[in-house]
Structure 1
Amino acid sequence: MQQEPRIQRLLSCRGHVLDFRKKPCVMGILNTTPDSFYDGGRHRDKALHHALSMISYGADIIDIGGESTRPGAEAVSAEEEIRRTAPLIRELKKHTSIPISIDTWKAEVAEEALQCGASIVNDISGFTFDEALPDVCKKYQAAVILMHTTDRPDQMQWSTETGGAERDIVALVKTALEASVANAKAHGIDQVVIDPGFGFGKSVRENFILLKRLHEFHSLGLPVLAGLSRKSFLGHAVQTHNAPLPSADDRLAATVSANTIALFNGADILRVHDVSEAVATAAIIKAVGNA
């Protein structure tokens, strides 16, 4: 009989420990960009207030990003990313002790953020875009989130109904994440979370296959993050006949439903725009588990 993998249930974030045995964690998204697909430009002038608001609603982590990763987004320089994120991280650290994550794949941006007080590096490329990033994470003893993607954001397309019938998307993503994790381990990084990368280079069908089979990623022995919040593939599922695709503003109910499924299928972290709804969802799942 094949032995079940031992899953890492604690994540040490430079002195702060997240315990997934007690409950799944909620990561609040804070974009300081003008062009993110949902909240672009909404919180740039009141970012600190929004971060503190998410914490008051129960966020366990705040994830700060200075470059949009939506499909087709234009790349920005490391200097611009730092300008958008570093002062906010420094200021937020004065008001909270919860972990702050920097959403970047650039070593230069990550190093500045870690110097300012971030404790997690959330890399959409899974250490594949910038070979210097693992050394920076090791230097500062940062926890890392390694996501799967097939392309850089400026080369990606929005999720569509077509494709996905020929390839085993779970096997493909798992193999790529195994390589990313091996790279992290080779650099002495053992505080790792994996993210299958919903919406990044996958068809609509493939995204739902990943959601249905999310529990299979625990075979890597690591916590799993699900980033489903208001993504376009959810809009395809709830789109009514001949109606336009629901906008990101109209995908909250779909997001709550998807997050519920993700938690039932083993997600340890939900990365969300809407913290209070995600915290409530996690609480209901916990109550069912305790019943």
Structure 2
Amino acid sequence: MNRTTDGHYLLNCSGRLLDLRSSAAVMGIVNLTPDSFSDGGMFQEPGGRADLSRAVEYALSMVRDGALIIDIGGESTRPGASRVSADEEIRRTIPFISLLRKKSEVLISIDTYKSEVAEAALDAGAQIVNDISGFTFDRNLPSICRKYHAAAILMHTPITPDSMKWSTQTHSAGSDVTGTVTKFLQKAVASAEHAGIDDIIIDPGFGFGKSVNENFRLLGSISQLLELERPLLAGVSRKSFLGHAIRKNGEPEPPPAARYDATAAAQTIALMHGAAIIRTHDVRAAFHAVSIVSAMKRAIA
């Protein structure tokens, strides 16, 4: 990974370059799961198989809308989600990765914490491993990333998804969430470097084991994570804490699909605070946010 004097980055992703020197990048989400919180079952056919051609066309539409990376998930990480086996995760994701790779040169990220899944995905053409656990769930994952020279996204989560609950405002009002996340990611980066991995992206893990208040405090202070000298990914898309903030008194929290405007607002805040990658379900809106913030920064430079 190359870092410029003004804090921008050029990453090697299995031989492909991710250039974050002049602008932030947009990562589009494709979940091949039946139970993800926002788009679970979107591509499911009767019998549980995914409609690969429809899923690939959806990914290609994201590329046309401005996505530089497509992030593919085969296991839901929503709060309370049931774990699936590595074999099932491979069954869901690898045919899609192989087909997308034949049709596009877009960077492909595999959203997994399992080394077996990561290796199968990298074999099929992925170049980035997106690990929600920051290399803490599977100790074999760093060696797989090193073997394929894959870039690694290291996220903070205090617990496994099946143990999490949806965000609430009833606890942790005074916690130092940014300090906790910083210490975790600092350790994760050191562990990756020790394993011979240098192309590292950090993710504070919005929504993962954090209260509503903690998520908003983290959003307002993520610039502190830039001290780790790694590109920062913000994954706030359609998250529950946004729905909590925009709900009207006495009304239920808006469903994920109704958090479009709130997502765009939160992504813009993240970009203003130094985010280099926006992970999103709504690529066009995120691309517009990136374009506006980039234009503003160029104008005042």
TM-score band by shorter chain is: over 0.9
Query: What does residue 142 of structure 1 align with?
Result: 150
Q: CA offset at residue 290 of structure 1? A: 2.1
Query: What does residue 240 of structure 1 align with?
Result: 248
Matches for 1:22-61 after TM superposition, within 5 Å: 22-43=22-43, 44-45=50-51, 46-61=54-69
The answer to whether the Cα contact below 8 Å between 1:6 and 1:221 also exists between their aligned partners in 2 is: no
1:289 aligns with 2:271: no
SS of residue matched to 1:108? helix
SS of residue matched to 2:225? helix
The amino acid that maps onto 2:121 is A
SS of residue matched to 2:205? coil
Distance in 2 between residues matched to 1:11 and 1:251, nearest whole Å: 31
1:192 aligns with 2:200: yes
Matches for 1:83-162 after TM superposition, within 5 Å: 83-162=91-170
The amino acid that maps onto 1:48 is V
92-101 vs 264-273, greater mean Cα deviation: 92-101
Distance in 2 between residues matched to 1:143 and 1:255, nearest whole Å: 26
The answer to whether the Cα contact below 8 Å between 2:8 and 2:22 also exists between their aligned partners in 1 is: no
The answer to whether the Cα contact below 8 Å between 2:154 and 2:203 also exists between their aligned partners in 1 is: yes
The answer to whether the Cα contact below 8 Å between 2:31 and 2:72 also exists between their aligned partners in 1 is: yes
Q: CA offset at residue 284 of structure 1? A: 1.0
Where does the alignment leave 5 or more consecutive residues of structure 1 unmatched?
none
SS of residue matched to 2:294? helix
SS of residue matched to 2:70? strand
Q: CA offset at residue 257 of structure 1? A: 0.3
**Structure 1, residues 237-275: CA drift from partner, whole Å, max 9, x if none?**
111111111110110000000001000000000000000
**Structure 1, residues 41-91: CA drift from partner, whole Å, max 9, x if none?**
113422111111111111000000000000000100000000000111111
Distance in 1 between residues matched to 2:292 and 2:96, nearest whole Å: 33
Query: What do you get for the CA RMSD once the two structures are aligned?
Result: 1.1
The answer to whether the Cα contact below 8 Å between 2:98 and 2:124 also exists between their aligned partners in 1 is: yes
SS of residue matched to 2:178? helix
How many positions carry a matched residue from both structures?
287
Q: CA offset at residue 6 of structure 1? A: 7.2
The answer to whether the Cα contact below 8 Å between 2:175 and 2:214 also exists between their aligned partners in 1 is: no
Distance in 2 between residues matched to 1:239 and 1:10, nearest whole Å: 40
Q: CA offset at residue 165 of structure 1? A: 2.2
Q: CA offset at residue 27 of structure 1? A: 0.2
Distance in 1 between residues matched to 2:174 and 2:294, nearest whole Å: 37
Query: What does residue 76 of structure 2 align with?
Result: 68
Q: CA offset at residue 11 of structure 1? A: 1.3
The answer to whether the Cα contact below 8 Å between 1:16 and 1:98 also exists between their aligned partners in 2 is: no
Query: What does residue 266 of structure 1 align with?
Result: 274
Matches for 1:145-184 after TM superposition, within 5 Å: 145-184=153-192
The amino acid that maps onto 2:281 is H
Distance in 1 between residues matched to 2:144 and 2:245, nearest whole Å: 40
TM-score, normalising length from structure 1?
Answer: 0.97
Query: What does residue 16 of structure 1 align with?
Result: 16
Distance in 2 between residues matched to 1:229 and 1:11, nearest whole Å: 24
Change over 3 Å in CA distance of 1:134–1:8 after alignment to 2: farther
Q: CA offset at residue 14 of structure 1? A: 1.5
Distance in 1 between residues matched to 2:106 and 2:42, nearest whole Å: 23
SS of residue matched to 2:287? helix
Distance in 2 between residues matched to 1:64 and 1:269, nearest whole Å: 16
**Structure 1, residues 210-250: CA drift from partner, whole Å, max 9, x if none?**
10001110000000000000000001111111111111011
SS of residue matched to 1:213? helix
Query: What does residue 223 of structure 2 align with?
Result: 215
Distance in 2 between residues matched to 1:256 and 1:100, nearest whole Å: 23
SS of residue matched to 2:102? coil
Distance in 1 between residues matched to 2:143 and 2:76, nearest whole Å: 24
Q: Using the aligned pairs only, state the percent identity.
A: 55
The amino acid that maps onto 1:237 is A
SS of residue matched to 1:190? coil
Distance in 1 between residues matched to 2:237 and 2:32, nearest whole Å: 17
Q: CA offset at residue 166 of structure 1? A: 3.2
Change over 3 Å in CA distance of 1:232–1:41 after alignment to 2: same
